[in-house]
Amino acid sequence: MALTASEMIAMIPAATARVRAGGEVEHYLRLRAESRRLNRELLAIVPPHATDHIGAAIGILCGRTFFFETESVAAVLADCCIFDWLEDGRTAPERYVRDTPPLEGTYEHELLEAMLRPRYDIVDAVDQIPGVGVRARSLVDGRELRVLDIDLARKAGLVGETLALRLLPLGDWWMASAPALEIARPLAVATVRTFARTASSDTYESTGPLEDHELVLMVVRAGLEQRRGRRSLALERDGPERDRRRAAGPGRVRTDLPAG
């Protein structure tokens, strides 16, 4: 069953971080707030059947039911609908700018300019910048990237992980258009090799991102499947202990513990 733009937007959490005024983070938060409004406009020009197509491609649509384990999965779906569904050979931002040119000097203009130059990439998290984001290195072209993302700045154990994410250029920084997905290293290497074989040398050298939309959706699907696998493993590990706690009951002392 196709989701409406308002239904998808409602599932995407708004930025809640509070930081001091001024600097890149202040600007990032303003752009993030604007992106929430703009995404609603962009999703409105994506045909309803696109959500079914994209949902099936990334593995979250079963029959006529979408499965959102977390709010971030809804954000990933919306992001793919915006950037990976083409109408007349154009993405939603490209059609929006063509039909509704933004007023120069506004946050909408800056954000749409960035959306016209997205970079889907696979990166290694090199270092976290407290309260700001992360330094990363692209596996596609080796470029060093500074990503403004407060969630990534706060995520424990991020350094050394391999991430798949879509990046929007903001001067010397980049902003993720949706939550990053952790992916297994073998998949990352195989994907980069596939891209290197299929992309022209000019494209590979000049832009570096994964430009094949089908390949991007395959990477997203793998990242979501890996996330589900880790979640299932955590639930399996927690299951026996949870069952023991339930058997003991609230405030009771268990009498069936093994003898020491």
Cα 87 to the chain's mean position, in Å? Answer: 22
Residue 203, pLDDT score: 40
**Are residues 167 and 177 in contact, defined by beta-carbon separation less than 8 angstroms?**
yes
Q: Where are the domains of the chain?
A: 5-230
User: 63 by DSSP, 3-state: which?
Assistant: coil
**Are residues 15 and 33 in contact, defined by beta-carbon separation less than 8 angstroms?**
yes
**Are residues 82 and 43 in contact, defined by beta-carbon separation less than 8 angstroms?**
yes
Per-residue confidence at 212, pLDDT binned at 50, 70, 90? confident
Of 37-46, 58-67, 77-86, 244-253, give the lowest mean pLDDT range.
Answer: 244-253
Of 79-83, 123-127, 195-199, 249-253, give the lowest mean pLDDT range.
Answer: 249-253
| pTM for the structure as a whole | 0.77
Across the range 11-20, mean pLDDT stands at 37
* Cα-Cα-Cα-Cα dihedral sign, residues 189, 138, 167, 133: positive
pLDDT tens per residue across span 128-140: 999 899 999 999 8
